[in-house]
Amino acid sequence: MAKQAKTAIKKDQKAAAEAKNWTKVIKAVRSTKSGAYTFKEAIVHKDNVKDFLAKK
């Protein structure tokens, strides 16, 4: 069993390296009706974080 787990890790290293390029972004948005804050979450590529935060 241990040998199979090691080979599975070697195969998934490329996928793990690609996963490091993604980040979870949480943005606070104020509701127009009640004035309370809600939160929008998204998993965005690290190059598009500023674009996500700039959107209304």
Query: What is the Cα–Cα distance from 26 to 52, expressed in whole angstroms?
Result: 10
What residues does each domain of the chain span?
Answer: 22-56
Give the pLDDT confidence score for residue 56 in this predicted structure. Answer: 72
Structural element, H or E, at residue 29 = strand 22-30
What is the value of pTM for the model shown? 0.62
Per-residue pLDDT of the chain (56 residues; tens, 9 = 90+): 556 666 556 667 777 778 889 999 999 999 999 999 999 999 999 999 999 999 87
Give the pLDDT confidence score for residue 17 in this predicted structure. Answer: 78
